[in-house]
């Protein structure tokens, strides 16, 4: 089996050798899915995984825009349309200086499996730009978004490809992008998700990724007769996912000790309660400040510049910032300090070494493609509401989200439970996600 996996990866590396994040994401899937394919005659000899690692379409384009001083800037825009076997391409847009084809291909590849796990009819895609919204005025962000959509609008549509937010793309950016699409195409449609409530958005979409990550962790904890009640929880990030993960942890009786951004982390041993979290939301979503400012407001807290929060002893860790933010050494520290559960809110935040350490220690570990699927699932619910031209209530959407996260957990158990009783959620998510897409691809023929 190892030879088969190596031969497959050699082929992937030959074509994508300069794309480390993409190769990392494919390797993890290959290690779990190739043995499964070998045991299931219908998939054998069809090169399905090889087809799945090649994007159906990779679009790259120039985005030229003018700043407040009249200077012209050029960024690169992308949309990776990875797989449409089970529905229109669906996945977020990331605006961050680190964006490149490798990062977006890894995200688009993960998205295919994640969207399949939600049980909703959504293919996988991802896009974005190396534009950095940090430090830009609202007007500059608007001009960039309008320029970006001028090209992107040719490639998307409610039945073709439906983008949404990701790092650096929140409610403000989705508004500007939607405005440009509507103007150019003269269509008011559900072409983006994460929209404002008065123009087609869904209740609970802002909360969904963070809430879903915590719902998934709660399902894992229940398998060991545990819960969030009274647990110390360490969270990285302070953006959309981290904020609502923290909120749900508080609802379930846990204590949130940390939040972070790319500058460092804050540790509040008294706990970040609802009032402090509201202050962080205002800091990040309105003032667009740095997390270091927390200690000016709450002097009993500590700020650790340039560091990640995994050194703070905890029962549960929720990485909610970015890829590869939790490495093998961080994992060992978490385990030494007694961490029993890691649920990924971000995409691929744990390195392969970290995942290996969690599996060796047999703690509860959920990969992002399962545990953070609540965001895209609720985007799927937004698409349904747009098509039906109705709006569901907060509790209707939240109940559906809970149901979907519970179903994803059950799928992971079905495909990931090992003979010794331990559930390998990575294996479970990869195989469960693969089966639905592979079956659709088989039915649709070689195309």
Ligand X SMILES: NC(=O)C1=CN([C@@H]2O[C@H](COP(=O)(O)OP(=O)(O)OC[C@H]3O[C@@H](n4cnc5c(N)ncnc54)[C@H](O)[C@@H]3O)[C@@H](O)[C@H]2O)C=CC1
Question: For binding to ligand X (CB under 6 A), which residues are involved?
Answer: 165-168, 170, 209, 237-242, 260-262, 320-322, 325, 345-347, 372, 375
Task: Kindly state the smallest distance separating residue 373's Cβ from ligand AKG, in Å.
Answer: 7
- Measured from the CB atom, the residue of 165 and 416 that comes closer to ligand X is 165
Residue 279 makes CB contacts below 8 A (sequence gap 6+) with 294, 297
Q: How far apart are CA 340 and CA 342, in angstroms?
A: 7
CA angle 84, 406, 31 (to 5 degrees): 55
Question: Of the two residues 158 and 264, which places its CB atom closer to ligand X in the complex?
Answer: 264
Copy the structure tokens of residue 193.
């998700």
Question: Which residues of the shown chain bind ligand AKG in the complex (CB under 6 A)?
Answer: 90-92, 111, 114, 164, 166, 193, 347, 372, 375-376, 379
Answer for the pair 173, 132: CB distance below 8 angstroms, yes or no: no
* CB closer to ligand X, 241 vs 438: 241
Query: Judged by CB, which is closer to ligand AKG: 193, or 232?
Result: 193
111 is in an annotated binding site: yes
Is 126 considered catalytic here? yes
Q: Note whether 83 and 49 are within 8 A (CB).
A: no
Considering the complex, state which of residue 8 and residue 109 has its C-beta at the smaller distance from ligand AKG: 109
Closest separation in Å from C-beta 45 to ligand AKG = 32
Determine which helix (DSSP H) or strand (DSSP E) holds 385, and give its type and residue range.
helix 374-388
Picked from ligand X, ligand AKG, none, the partner binding residue 86 (CB below 5 to 8 A depending on kind) is none
**Rounded-to-integer distance, Cα 419 and Cα 427, Å:** 13
Choose from ligand AKG, ligand X, none: what does 268 bind? Cβ within 5-8 Å by kind: none
* 359 vs 346: CA distance, rounded Å: 19
Least distance (Å) from ligand AKG to the CB of residue 298? 31
Residue 260 backbone zone (phi > 0: left; psi -120 to 50: alpha; other: beta): beta
User: Is 209 labeled as ligand-binding?
Assistant: yes
Q: CB nearest ligand X: which residue? A: 239
For ligand AKG, which residue has the nearest CB? Answer: 92
- Residue 137's CB is within 10 A of a number of other CB atoms, namely 10
Report the run of H or E that residue 215 belongs to, with start and end.
helix 205-222
Q: Which does 262 bind (CB under 5 to 8 A by kind): ligand AKG, ligand X, none?
A: ligand X
Nearer to ligand AKG, 115 or 232 (CB): 115
Contacts of 427 (CB under 8 A, 6+ apart): 32, 415, 416
Q: Give the shortest CB-202-to-ligand X separation in angstroms.
A: 12
CA–CA dist 247, 278 (Å, integer): 9
88: Cβ contacts below 8 Å, ≥ 6 apart? 122, 123, 157, 158, 159, 160, 161, 162
Q: Which does 102 bind (CB under 5 to 8 A by kind): ligand X, ligand AKG, none?
A: none
Q: Tell whether 90 is in a known binding site.
A: yes
Out of ligand X, ligand AKG, none, what residue 258 binds, judged by CB under 5 to 8 A for its kind, is: none
Residue 211 contacts residue 183 (beta carbons within 8 Å): no
Q: In whole angstroms, how close is the CB of 288 to ligand AKG at the nearest point?
A: 21
CB of 379 to ligand AKG, least distance (A): 3
Residue with tokens 């800091």: 283
Residue among 6, 13, 105, 126 flagged as catalytic:
126
Active site (catalytic) residues: 126
Residue set of the binding site = 90, 111, 114, 165, 209, 240, 379
């Amino acid at each position: 089996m190892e030879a088969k996996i190596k031969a497959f990866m050699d082929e992937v590396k030959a074509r994508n050798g300069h794309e480390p994040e993409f190769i990392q994401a494919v390797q993890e899937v290959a290690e779990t899915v190739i043995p499964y394919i070998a045991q299931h005659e219908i998939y054998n000899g069809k090169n399905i995984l090889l087809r799945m690692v090649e994007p159906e379409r990779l679009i790259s384009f120039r985005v030229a825009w003018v700043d407040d001083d009249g200077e012209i800037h050029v960024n690169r825009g992308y949309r990776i349309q990875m797989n449409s076997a089970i529905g229109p391409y669906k996945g977020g847009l990331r605006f961050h200086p680190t964006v490149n084809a490798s990062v977006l291909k890894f995200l688009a590849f993960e998205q295919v499996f994640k969207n399949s796990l939600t049980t909703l009819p959504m293919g996988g895609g991802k896009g974005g730009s190396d534009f950095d919204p940090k430090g830009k005025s609202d007007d500059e962000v608007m001009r960039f978004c309008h320029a970006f959509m001028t090209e992107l609008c040719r490639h998307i549509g409610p039945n073709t490809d439906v983008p949404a937010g990701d790092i650096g793309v929140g409610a403000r950016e989705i508004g500007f992008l939607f405005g440009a699409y509507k103007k150019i195409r003269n269509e008011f449609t559900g072409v983006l998700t994460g929209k404002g409530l008065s123009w087609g958005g869904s209740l609970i979409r802002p909360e969904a990724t963070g809430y879903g990550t915590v719902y998934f962790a709660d399902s894992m904890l229940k398998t060991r007769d545990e819960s969030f009640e009274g647990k110390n929880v360490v969270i990285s990030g302070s953006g959309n996912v981290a904020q609502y993960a923290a909120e749900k942890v508080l609802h379930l009786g846990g204590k949130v000790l940390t939040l972070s951004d790319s500058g460092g982390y804050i540790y509040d041993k008294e706990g970040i309660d609802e009032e402090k979290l509201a202050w962080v939301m205002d800091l990040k979503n309105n003032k667009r400040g740095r997390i270091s400012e927390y200690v000016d407001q709450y002097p009993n807290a500590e700020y650790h510049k340039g560091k990640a929060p995994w050194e703070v002893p905890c029962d549960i860790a929720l990485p909610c910032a970015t890829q590869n933010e939790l490495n093998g050494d961080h994992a060992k520290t978490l385990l030494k300090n007694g961490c029993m559960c890691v649920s990924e809110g971000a995409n691929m935040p744990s390195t392969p070494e970290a995942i290996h350490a969690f599996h060796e220690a047999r703690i509860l570990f959920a990969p992002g493609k399962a545990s953070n699927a609540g965001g895209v699932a609720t985007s799927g619910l937004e698409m349904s509401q747009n098509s039906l031209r109705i709006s569901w209530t907060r509790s209707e959407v939240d109940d559906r989200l809970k149901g979907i996260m519970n179903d994803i957990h059950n799928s992971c158990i079905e495909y990931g439970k090992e003979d010794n009783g331990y559930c390998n959620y990575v294996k479970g998510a990869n195989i469960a996600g693969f089966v639905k897409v592979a079956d659709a691809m088989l039915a649709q023929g070689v195309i």
